[in-house]
Amino acid sequence: MRHLMSPLDLSVEELDTLMDLAGDIEKHPDKYAHICDGKRLATLFYEPSTRTRLSFEAAMMNLGGQVIGFSSADSSSASKGESVADTIRVVSCYADICAMRHPKEGAPLVASMASSIPVINAGDGGHQHPTQTLTDLLTIRSLKGHFDNLTIGLCGDLKFGRTVHSLIEALVRYNNVKFTLISPEELRVPSYIREDVLKKNHVEFQEVERLEDALPDLDILYMTRVQKERFFNEEDYVRMKDFYILDKQKMELAKDDMYILHPLPRVNEIATEVDSDPRAAYFKQAQYGVYVRMALILTLLEVKLPC
């Protein structure tokens, strides 16, 4: 039985296979419409979510399966003090696979150790968000056709942004991927990403503060939200929240084929006037999230695929 805690739980070859499967699901959805008949997904969300929870639920329904779960800790017995280990032991009796989001780093890992069904980390605190990374990779591959030799700009909250950490870890495995890390001093990537992921893998990267300086060289710009829920005080959040606003004027500095990704939700960091730019790929990205989660469910459940 396999779980997914980090994008590194899948080899590059397995990622390719998964993205090929997601591509086939996109092209031939009818082939997969009953492949999970009789199977159940449990969505255990101890933290708010729109895309991840609903795209997991849509994914299982698209496969013919059913969904059970809760969307907040308050509406589960966590509010009475039940541990994630006890919760997953019980949920293992009710479902075949589980997606868990939790505000505490490592909680899905703890759950996986007590589980008798596959557990998918659907975001744990400021740590990892592997299924967002699968979504991001599928989006980049669909738009660019490859990962090698791309210059990727990551902008915003690089300190607490779990999507950023997971994406960097996944992309360093490809050839000659370069990173431009765009953030205020206080929100730079954690040192383990700089030292143990980027430097250790001899990956070329630069850290800059001004988005305008970085834009002309980028192939992909990955914008992120400054996350209010990760700040310890309101004052720091207010100071940082509008540090970056991508608007039409700034987009004039970018290449004609520089695509903008964002895990969403967006607050102010991308002006809505950018949404009509053909390079704005963030809503398409959310759609890819369904295909890739369908492919992941099939992979972890080891479902026999149609020809």
φ, ψ of residue 122 in degrees (nearest 5): -100, 25
Task: Tell me how far, at minimum, the Cβ of 280 lies from ligand CP, in Å.
Answer: 16
CA distances from 87 to 31, 55, 99, 241, 287 (A): 34, 22, 13, 36, 30
d(CA 108, CA 88): 10
Q: Give the active site residue among 3, 129, 225, 262.
A: 129
Task: Note whether 75 and 26 are within 8 A (CB).
Answer: no
Q: Is 127 a catalytic residue?
A: no
137 binds ligand CP (CB under 6 A): no
285 binds ligand CP (CB under 6 A): no
By CB under 6 A, the residues from 48 to 67 that bind ligand CP are: 49-52
Question: Token pair of 67, please?
Answer: 């969904």
Cβ proximity to ligand CP, 264 vs 270, nearer residue? 264
128 binds ligand CP (CB under 6 A): no
Task: Note whether 225 and 157 are within 8 A (CB).
Answer: yes
Q: What share of the chain is helix, strand, coil (3-state, %, to 5)?
A: 45, 15, 40
Question: Token pair of 54, please?
Answer: 């609903």
71 binds ligand CP (CB under 6 A): no
Task: Tell me how far, at minimum, the Cβ of 240 lies from ligand CP, in Å.
Answer: 19
Q: Give the active site residue among 39, 101, 127, 293.
A: 101
Cβ proximity to ligand CP, 151 vs 166, nearer residue? 166
Task: Tell me how far, at minimum, the Cβ of 87 lies from ligand CP, in Å.
Answer: 20
* Cross-sheet strand order for the sheet of 66-70: 66-70, 40-45, 97-102, 119-124
Task: Tell me how far, at minimum, the Cβ of 296 lies from ligand CP, in Å.
Answer: 15
43 binds ligand CP (CB under 6 A): no
Question: So which residues are the catalytic ones?
Answer: 51-52, 80, 101, 129
Residues lying near ligand CP in the complex (CB under 6 A): 49-52, 123, 132, 263-265
